[in-house]
């Protein structure tokens, strides 16, 4: 009985993949989504990066983990890495949108 219950649960990751497949046919949507992700990643990564640089240069580091202290419950070093990763992903999606746009245009 538990196998049937597992098959009926919702899978949000599958929905996101279907949405990505739908937008992969639309170059403008890919460029817009990638631009938004790139902006969020670069701006957020720069914010947390400045916190990391400031606290490390002032010597305000956690002695146990050798990382800066938490900011609002978030490790700034980890948040910087994740947000720059999102920015790189956004740039890659913009590149995919540009490549698919040129692929569909006729010469």
- Which residues fall within 8 angstroms of residue 89, CB to CB, at 6 or more apart? 37, 41
Q: Which two tokens stand for residue 76?
A: 């700034």
CA pair distance 87, 45, nearest whole angstrom: 8
Neighbours of 46 (CB within 10 A): 14
pLDDT by residue (tens digit) across 60-87? 887 777 778 888 888 888 999 999 999 9
| Residue 57's pLDDT band (cuts 50, 70, 90) | confident
| Residue 15's pLDDT band (cuts 50, 70, 90) | confident
Summary mean pLDDT of the chain: 81
pLDDT at 101 over 90: no
Tell me if residue 71 falls in helix, strand or coil: strand
DSSP state of 105: S
Q: Which two tokens stand for residue 17?
A: 């993949």
């Amino acid at each position: 009985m538990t196998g049937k219950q597992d098959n009926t649960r919702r899978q949000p990751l599958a929905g996101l993949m279907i949405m990505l497949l739908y937008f992969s046919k639309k170059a403008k949507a890919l460029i817009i989504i990638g631009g938004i992700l790139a902006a969020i990643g670069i701006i957020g990564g720069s914010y947390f990066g400045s916190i990391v640089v400031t606290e490390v240069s002032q010597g305000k580091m956690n002695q146990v983990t050798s990382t800066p202290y938490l900011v609002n419950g978030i490790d700034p070093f980890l948040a910087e890495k994740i947000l720059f990763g999102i920015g790189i992903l956004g740039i890659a999606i913009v590149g995919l949108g540009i490549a698919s746009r040129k692929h569909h245009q006729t010469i």
